Amino acid sequence: MISFDEFVPVAGVPIYLQILRYIQRGAAAGRIQNGDELPSRRVLSAVLGVNPNTVQKAYRLLEDKGLISSHTGAKSCMVLSDETVQAIRQELLEGEVRALVTAMRQTGASKTDALAMMEKLWDECGV
């Protein structure tokens, strides 16, 4: 069962999108695997303290993206091939890096300064 213990809501971002991103990031990092079961919509809405329709919207998006398989009255499970996980990772990283590059350019950082900062922080934030 996929755990939402580490889910931390962020103000200003719709919860259904945060649920989607949480699951995508878990899949990209390998914490969420093919076949893993998601909590029921009702259970997850209670755990997160949100309206069940919010969870339903997130699960519908996951279904539309082909990341989960759901059937009425049955559990929802992850559907992840290696190619799908790689595509998710690429999409997430590109979005994050694009936002970072935009912010760095807006603050006047040069490419050299930006890359030096990335190297420094990469080493500092190592796991």
pLDDT in tens, 71-101: 777 789 999 999 999 999 999 999 999 999 9
Q: What is the pTM of this model?
A: 0.85
For residue 127, name the pLDDT band (cuts at 50, 70, 90).
Answer: low
Q: How far is CA 10 from CA 14, 32, 43, 58, 106, in A?
A: 8, 21, 20, 16, 23
Name the residue among 95, 96, 65, 70 with its Cα closest to residue 81: 65
Q: Rounded CA gap, 111 and 123, in Å?
A: 19
CATH of 15-124, one of 2.40.40.20, 1.20.120.10, 3.40.50.850, 1.10.10.10: 1.10.10.10
| pLDDT single digits (tens) 4-62 | 999 999 999 999 999 999 999 999 999 999 999 999 999 999 999 999 999 999 999 99
